[in-house]
Chains A and B, each alone.
Chain A
Amino acid sequence: MQTLWKIIMFFLSIFLILAAHIFVVNFLPFPFSHINIIFSLSLLILTISPSSRVLWLALITSYVSELFSSIPFGIGTAALFISLLIINWFQLNILTNRSVYMIFLSAILGISLYRALFVLLLTVNNYFYSLAPLPYREILADAGWEVLLSSLLLFFLYLLDVKFLRHFRSSSSKSIRMYG
């Protein structure tokens, strides 16, 4: 029963993240439509409850999201997956402090890395298929908005978690009992 519940929650999470991403892209005006909900929420979940399930969740969410993109399939998913793994390594070895500022920095690094990988893969694709060069200046401006707004969103969500939600989680309650 618990396994079934976990599976339902897993697919519900994917559905909700996708719905939130589509809402942001379609409904919000510029520049808020550039907030990268899929990456932000994947990184948030990876930070507050690290589990390999998060990577599967990010993979499936990104896969479905790519079905509604004109970019050659695989570029977005690969960029997201690689950048999430790199940021996870950074959080393990360099950005080990779990303060909100470090999460903000992780988000800036992660989303910048994601967009850089995305553009790099797209440039390679365009080169091999002899397509028109990308409008790098405009992409840079858009990426700037994306990094800034997505990082701010992640900052506030993590702050919300630290200040309010963490106290309601069972793992946190146990540590409070153990360490006072």
Chain B
Amino acid sequence: MLRFKAKNYFFLGFVLALIIIFHYLGWLNFLERGARSIIVPISSKITHWRLSSQDSYDYFSNKEEVVSNYTKCLEKNQNFEVADAKLKNLEQENIELKKQLNFLRSHNFKNVTAEVVGRNTDSVEKMIIISAGETSGIKLNQPVVVGDGILVGTIAKVEKNISMVRLINDNQSKIAATLLNKDGSLGVVEGGYGLSIKMNFIPRNETVLIGDQIITSGMEQTIPRGLLIGEVAIAENEAYQPFQQAVLTASTDLSKLFIVSVLVSN
């Protein structure tokens, strides 16, 4: 057993306090950079292993599942044929939209591409760690996107060479959003502790349909309008509630992120 006298406890407490104070004063930066440069490659490697091993999770466990998936596949194929006809129409619209896109480009969204190197080491918050930080121009609350502008989170903490991204399914995440329904309903997209995403504060008299898409509303200074968040999976309009809410399906699998872009300015 480890026996201590009172003065040992004071000494240990003193050392702990010194470390915390020195950290906030930045006197341990060189040590911290060294520790990070050792740990980040390991964390990155483990993340890649996890992502590659997850790819083999999508298998069928019984015959019924195969038949069900085959039926769904046939339905999807029919939908694709319909979609093909729509596509031709959309091509013309696309030419018009490209003109608008040029306008957006003139506002010049600068972005920083970064690799996902790990997850938050404590289980209280749902965050990922990315390989770009303050030196790349990343600042707090900047939006993080994947693919063609799918919002996955916002920057919650910035270090010199790494940053923490608060995912949209984190409990503390709150993003001003708008529904692409006929009313253009406004609301706030909130995370459900890594398990779900909800859009709250939707006025009760507005129509919310399953499948409606949700985008950022542009009402926050750092997040531009039009970043895709997800689509409505369940709409809940209870008589005793002042607002209705919708449970969303994210547009991308938030557990399989490996490359993200941070919109650093416009």
Contacts and interface: CB of A to CB of B under 8 A. Distances in A.
Given A23-B46, A135-B171, A138-B171, A67 B193 contact: no
Given A23-B46, A142-B124, A68 B171 contact: no
B164 A88 contact: no
Interface in B22-49: 23-24, 32, 35-36, 38-39, 42-43, 46-47, 49
A86 to B, nearest CB: 11
Contacts of B23: 73-74
- Bin the interface of chain B by size: 35 or more
B103 interface: no
Nearest to B49: A27
A103 B50 CA distance: 32
A76 interface: yes
B118 interface: yes
Contact of B120 (A64, A70, A73, A85): A70
A142 B49 contact: no
Nearest to B193: A138
Interface residues of A, number: 46
A132 B166 CA distance: 14
Tell me the dominant secondary structure on chain A's binding face. helix
B78 interface: no
B1 A88 contact: yes
A74 B28 CA distance: 13
A69 B20 contact: no
A67 B36 contact: yes
B129 interface: yes
B82 to A, nearest CB: 38
Interface of A: 15, 18-19, 21-23, 25-27, 33-34, 46, 50-52, 54-55, 59, 63-71, 73-74, 76-78, 81, 85, 88, 91-92, 118, 122, 132, 134-135, 138-139, 142, 146
Interface of B: 1-4, 8-9, 12, 15-16, 19-20, 23-24, 32, 35-36, 38-39, 42-43, 46-47, 49-50, 53, 118-125, 127, 129, 156-157, 159, 162, 164, 166, 171-172, 193
